[in-house]
Each structure stands twice: as C-alpha cells, then as structure tokens.
Amino acid sequence: MIGLRFDRHAEQWGAMTQSTSAAERAVEELLLHDRKILALRGEIREARLKRFLLVSTYSSAPTLMLILFVGNIVAWGHIDLSRVNVACIPILIALLILCVIVRANSTAIDIWDNRLKDRWEAGHAAGKKIDLELALERKRLSAASIDLPTETRRHVYRETVPVAIEQYRSDGLRYRRVHNFFQGVIIVGSLATSTAASLAETPAPYKWITVGTSFSVDLAAGFTGYFKFRERSFYLQQTADSIEEEYDAVNLKFGRYKSSADDEAALLEFTERVETLKNDQRKRQQQLDQPTETPEG
C-alpha cells in the first residue's frame, strides 16, 4: 500500500517535472525568436544608416559644385564670390576624399564576414525587412502552438509593461523635441522678420532675409498645426504615466488593488486596465491623424 502511494506520487512528480521542462523549453524557444527579431531590426537600422551615408557622401560633392556654379552665374557682375570659391576648394577636396574612403569600405569584403558588401547595397534593407516579417510570423506560429496557462501569460504580459511605458515616453519626448524646435523657429523667425522689415531702406540682401525668415515661420507654423506634435507628446506622456501608475499599484497592492486578496484577480483587472489605456491612446492617435476640417463659409 505504501509502495503504491509512493509510485503514485512519483508519477505525479514526474508529470509536473516534465510539464515544467516543456514550458521552459517553450519559453526558451520564444526567447530565441525574440533574439533573432532584435538582430534583424539592428541589421535593418545599420543597413539604412550605411545606405544614407553612401548616398549623402556621393551627392555632397556634386551638390556643392552645383551650388557654386549657380551662385556664380546669378552673382556674375554684381557680387564677387572669388573668396567663397577659394574657401570651398578645400571642402570640395575633403568631400572627394571622403567619397573615395566610403567607396573603398563599401566594396571591401571582410574575410570574417562575407556579407559586409551586401550591407551597403540598396536592396539589403528590403531583404532584411522580408526576413523580419518571416521571423515575426514564425514567432506567432510558435506562440500559438505553446499551451501555457492563462495565469502565466498574464504574468508575462505584466513584465512587458515597462517596455511599453518606455516606448510611450520616448515617442512623447521625440514629438516634444520636434515641437520645441518648430516653436523656436517661429519665435526667432518672427523677431528676425519684424526686425528686417522695420528697416527704413531695406537693401536687397535684407529683403531676401525677410522673405526667407517669413517663409520659415509659415512653414514651421504649418507643420506644427497639421501634425500636432504638442498634442501627440502630451497624450503619449499621459498614457505612459497612467500605465506606470497601474503597474506600481498592482505590484505594491495599493489603490484599486488594495482590497484584492486574489493575485490572479488583481492581475486580470490590471491587464484589462492597461489594455483599455492602450486602446484609448490608439483612438486619440487616430483622431490626431485625421486632417483638420475647415469650416464651410
């Protein structure tokens, strides 16, 4: 009788150990998918940066020569640009040397990495984007085949919340910086325009300064009003603060989770609250993406 009970407990322990091992293997498989996805995203960013460096380097010298050519034609007989031409000669030589260096690096093949040359090609980033989509699909299929308990999935979801908070805050900070930049252009441009226009007899260069600053102010005001950078930053920061408040409340058991004795019930309510905040943010984002309606006259 005692031996039968021992065998039964041994079978249950073996089943629990096997189930735990299967769950751990499934989690490790998902982590491998995440590692591959992060590596592909890094390769895409690197390929885009190298392609931008290649294109900007190749186009810098011809652009400078074109500007000098057009400037000399326009200023012929009016303004002496000989000093400007002489000053631009070292810059042009430096740009040509940079083109040679970038060209040598882009055509070289490292003995340790035969794909170094491919990273400079135009279609490399597009090919990696296809690989990224396939990797994401493999992860979704792998996650769908894993039979993890719902409670485990909710715990995993809770641990991914800090990443979402950081993403909302970084996006909000980026929009805030863009908004501050355009506001600075509007303030400085308005002062420069009014100062240049208030001159009694405005010479020709100051007239062009007035036109340029006025155009910059109108352009900055148009971008700010259309894309609504300040509103986007405010809503993203508000969503990040609200999600962080829920995250701290469920971990420290205060607020709405103070009287919750069941951790699973508190985790379920936390998941519902976070998803509601995310959905509200998506709705606000969609509203901001809608064009501003002009009143009919």
- Angstrom distances, CA of residue 94 to CA of 71, 109, 112, 295: 21, 25, 31, 54
The pLDDT value given to residue 64: 79
Alpha-carbon span 175 to 220, nearest angstrom: 14
CA 71 to chain centre: 38
Q: Is 295 contained in some domain?
A: no
Residues 137 and 156 in one domain: no
Residues 141 and 180 in one domain: no
Alpha-carbon span 242 to 247, nearest angstrom: 9
Question: Taking a C-beta distance cutoff of 8 angstroms, is the pair 277, 246 a contact?
Answer: yes
Domain final residue pick, 99, 119, 148:
148
Unique residue bearing structure tokens 């508000």: 238
Unique residue bearing structure tokens 């979801």: 157
Residues 276 and 248 in one domain: yes
146 secondary structure, DSSP code: -
Q: Is 221 contained in some domain?
A: yes
Question: Taking a C-beta distance cutoff of 8 angstroms, is the pair 29, 145 a contact?
Answer: no
Which residue range(s) make up the domain with 10? 1-148
Residues 181 and 68 in one domain: no
Q: Is 235 contained in some domain?
A: yes
Q: Is 15 contained in some domain?
A: yes
H or E element at residue 198 = none
The pLDDT value given to residue 275: 92
Among residues 285, 253, 288, 282, which one has the least CA distance to residue 270?
253
Residues 82 and 65 in one domain: yes
Q: Read off the pTM.
A: 0.63
| Total residue length of the chain | 297
The pLDDT value given to residue 27: 72
The pLDDT value given to residue 13: 43
The pLDDT value given to residue 111: 42
Residues 243 and 285 in one domain: yes
Count up the domains in the chain and report the number: 2
Residue 292, Ramachandran bin (φ over 0: left; ψ between -120 and 50: alpha; else beta): beta
Residues 191 and 285 in one domain: yes
Residues 108 and 197 in one domain: no
The pLDDT value given to residue 112: 46
Residues 272 and 245 in one domain: yes
Q: Is 250 contained in some domain?
A: yes
Domain final residue pick, 127, 148, 169:
148
The pLDDT value given to residue 273: 93
The pLDDT value given to residue 202: 59
Residues 112 and 158 in one domain: no
Q: What is the pLDDT along the chain (297 residues), one digit of tens a residue?
A: 444 444 554 454 454 445 456 667 777 777 788 888 888 888 888 878 877 777 777 788 888 788 878 877 777 767 667 777 787 888 888 888 887 887 776 665 444 455 555 555 656 677 788 888 888 888 777 776 776 777 777 877 788 888 889 989 999 999 999 999 999 999 988 888 787 777 656 566 666 677 778 888 888 888 898 889 999 999 999 999 999 999 999 888 888 888 877 788 888 899 999 999 999 999 999 998 876 654 444
Residues 170 and 110 in one domain: no
239 class by beta-carbon count within 10 Å (0-12 exposed, 13-18 middle, 19+ buried): buried
